[in-house]
Amino acid sequence: MGYTVGDLLEFKQEALTESIRVIRSRESFWGLTNVFTEVRQQEGTDVTKWSIFNENRKLGKWAVRNSPARPMDLAGGRKLSAPLGHIFMSATIDEDVLLLCQSPEENAQERAVAWIQDAQEQLVALGDNLLEAAIWEILLTGELAIDQSGDPNHPIIQTITFGIAAAHVADNTTLDWSLPASKILSDTASGEAWGDLLAIPEDDGFVITDIVMNRLTNRYLFGNTEIQKLWSDKRRDILIEKANITRLDGADVWTYNKKYEDDAGSLQNFVIDDHIIGLPSAEDRRRVFHMMEGETMVPDMNRPDKRLMKAMGAQSWVEYSSNPAEARIFYKRNVMPVVRIPDAFFSRKVKL
């Protein structure tokens, strides 16, 4: 840690920014900690640019020693761009906390530091909630719609697409998982049995290793006659491990039921009911999903004129007002989750 308690009590910009960066994303955020783990920074712009491409599945060619290199056709790709998502939030530091900051008593200073760090953790949590919701929106729909207005009555929607094929994010089904007798494993007519869904990205060179769903959808799986039969035979111990089903036709099944509170005050699942998401291995996910992070403009609080400066990554600072006597602590970050290999995963509705 490169800052002191005194630095925080004086609201030094460098200390506040370092403090906010060491606040880790909560481990319970499955999307942030298991899917979009690869952070790529880019300087000089608030517009992110990335290439999308499909895996090249052709075999390379052996060459005769001392002969010219064998010319090969590379897989085609294309470039996409979009403005980075703009996270900019603040919280009030009231007069009571400001008095604690200036108190000579150690106990008062400890309370002030605890308040500052709690405020920063809450601002980071709000930003992480937003990013987690964005991640699952991308995985479930293949798009991301950002309302930049902050006004529910006059939204300004920026929709970002990632070139994901419709078959990979289908919001329909003919095989209803909610019916216990559904042939989830053995159906051959719908093309939507378990093995058929796992095979969707295989033509693009990826093997699905993890299936994510919420608790309601998981109940369909646990209540299915075919699945229950598997549990009754010798494979039971292989299938059930640490509260998730493991190696079901090669894929682990994860129940993710974390919720967020919407603007109306209602709790909503990040992973919506009646849907499943199939993901490639953790190693492949580092190539497929990137979190793009860029520079942002912030006031330089070390200068008397507080001139704006460019800064990379998450930033935090404090500004004062005298009427009323208070301060505001700010959190700012320009960031965008992007998909670089569009057809490496799938999502599917599993209830009619």
Which CATH number fits the domain that encloses residue 91?
3.90.1690.10
CA gap 270, 132 in Å, rounded: 7
Does some domain include residue 69?
Answer: no
Helices H, strands E: what count in the chain?
10, 19
| Range of the structural domain that residue 246 is part of | 5-53+78-349
pLDDT (0 to 100) of residue 289: 95
Does some domain include residue 60?
Answer: no
CA gap 146, 150 in Å, rounded: 10
CA gap 11, 5 in Å, rounded: 10
pLDDT (0 to 100) of residue 2: 65
Does some domain include residue 282?
Answer: yes
Does some domain include residue 114?
Answer: yes
Does some domain include residue 40?
Answer: yes
pLDDT (0 to 100) of residue 237: 58
Report how many domains make up the chain.
1
CA gap 244, 252 in Å, rounded: 7
Helix, strand, coil share (%) of the chain residues, nearest 5: 30, 30, 40
Does some domain include residue 215?
Answer: yes
Residues 316, 19: contact at Cβ < 8 Å?
yes
One pLDDT digit (tens) per residue for the chain, 352 residues:
567 778 888 889 999 999 888 886 566 688 998 999 999 998 877 788 888 877 777 888 899 999 999 888 877 778 888 889 989 999 999 889 899 988 889 899 899 989 999 999 999 999 999 999 999 999 999 999 988 776 667 777 889 999 999 989 988 889 999 999 999 999 988 889 999 999 999 878 899 999 999 999 999 988 899 988 887 765 555 555 555 677 788 899 999 999 999 988 999 999 999 999 999 999 999 999 999 999 999 999 989 999 999 999 999 999 988 878 889 999 999 999 999 999 899 999 999 8
Model pTM? 0.90
pLDDT (0 to 100) of residue 74: 79
